[in-house]
Amino acid sequence: MLQLQVVREEKDKIITALKKRNIDAAPLLEKVLQLDEKRRTTQSLLDNTLAESNKLSKEIGMLFKSGKAQEANVLKEKTGSLKEDSKRLSEELNTAAKELQDVLYQIPNIPDDLVPAGNSEDDNEEIFKEGDIPTLDPNALPHWELAKKYDIIDFELGVKITGAGFPVYKGKGARLQRALIAYFLDKNTEAGYTEMQVPLLVNEASGYGTGQLPDKEGQMYHVGADDLYLIPTAEVPVTNIFRDVIINENDFPICLTGYTPCFRREAGSYGAHVRGLNRLHQFDKVEIVRIEHPTNSYKALDGMVEHVKTILKDLQLPYRILRLCGGDLGFTSALTYDFEVFSTAQDRWLEISSVSNFEAFQANRLKLRYKDENGKTQLAHTLNGSSLALPRVLAGILENYQTPEGIKIPDVLVPYCGFDIID
């Protein structure tokens, strides 16, 4: 959420910056300023009313002590009227504050200067590419056919149990999935991230804290009876550990990692591009989250990008990195890098990670602060990244490592799997 003071002081700059997202923010920002003025005016009237009421209460007490009951009773009638006024003003203040908050929730983060202008994923900038695309046998299969051939993932069984987008991993497929999770966590903890195990359901406040609500409400599974949401990513519960927290400046950086299943409705998704593991309603992901001092957050973002690169190098998968354009940038992000693995059998790139800096946008929603060297409270910066999302990594391994003899296992995963080929 944008800071109100920044909106007051830099309205025109924000309007210009949000044009990169193809958004005309002028009406929303004008509404923010109008509601802010109404809120401040109401607050001033309420403060004056309460001050006058307190002053009269003291006078009434003194009059009663002096035996001037009649004069005191006259003032009591006036205080009664003031109490009614203060109650009305308090309700108006709460209404104005909520309306202001609701409008601020609708405004996305300001893109960093590095974010290119653009309308869609077609305008994202490729900034890095590494790895050789393997030459496969002419009879090479996409991963959903390989899964069936080697009986390692059963998509139809998942449909029977739950519905489309909930696959069942079997035998060596399940062991490979578990191996990837363990390997990702080990890589992250070796890099200094503390492993966390967090709830898979969160309350509404947590959804608002990291920006999934109200922006992605339709994409989240909602447990209505308990008013809880199944998490779309570990970013939500892990980052919310620090909601309403003031941390010490010398605690930076805070680096956390966690594995969770993730749940997304993916409403409206259909077609060949979502076959198999390409898009699921339930999938596994290992996440990294950083809480950083504002002066270090972009250096930390670069470090996270380098960390994810080492994982893909270890897996020996061909990949590229994209800098997302304004039209494809997530609501809460100031700058995002997407990692994509090349699927040789599908002849296309598959997104497997997003690494983002949210600057103070999430922290303002979370009230995640620190005290600087002068004792002044400041907003921290938050970052997160996938390291990695498993479905498309697994798809890339199955497709790129297939041979006539079977599917080879990347060397780095063999100690985790206990086997070197799926045949």
Answer yes or no: is 354 a known binding residue: yes
Answer yes or no: is 351 a known binding residue: yes
Q: Do residues 231 and 260 make contact, with C-beta atoms less than 8 angstroms apart? A: yes
Q: What is the identity of the amino acid at 142?
A: P
DSSP letter (8 states) at residue 220: S
Answer yes or no: is 297 a known binding residue: no
Answer yes or no: is 266 a known binding residue: yes
Measured between alpha carbons, how far apart are the two ends of the chain, in Å?
A: 51
> Could you identify the residue written with the tokens 């080492």?
310
Listed in sequence order, the residues at least 6 apart from 48 whose beta carbon sits closer than 8 Å to its beta carbon are none
Angle at 38 between CA 32 and CA 39, to 5 degrees: 85
**String of DSSP letters for 356-418:** EEEETHHHHHHT-EEE-TTS-EEE-EEEEEEEEEHHHHHHHHHHHTEETTEEEPPGGGHHHHS
* Separation of alpha carbons 171 and 166, rounded Å: 17
Q: Do residues 152 and 422 make contact, with C-beta atoms less than 8 angstroms apart? A: yes
Answer yes or no: is 353 a known binding residue: yes
343: helix, strand or coil: strand
Answer yes or no: is 384 a known binding residue: yes
Q: Do residues 321 and 339 make contact, with C-beta atoms less than 8 angstroms apart? A: yes
Token pair belonging to 347: 């002849």
Produce one character per residue of 143-157: b if its CB has 16 or more CB atoms within 10 Å, e if not. Answer: bbbbbeebebbbbee
Longest dimension (CA), the chain: 106
Answer yes or no: is 265 a known binding residue: yes
Answer yes or no: is 233 a known binding residue: yes
Answer yes or no: is 250 a known binding residue: no
Binding residues for L-serine are 233, 264, 287, 384
Binding residues: 233, 264-266, 287, 351-354, 384
Annotated binding-site positions for ATP: 264-266, 351-354
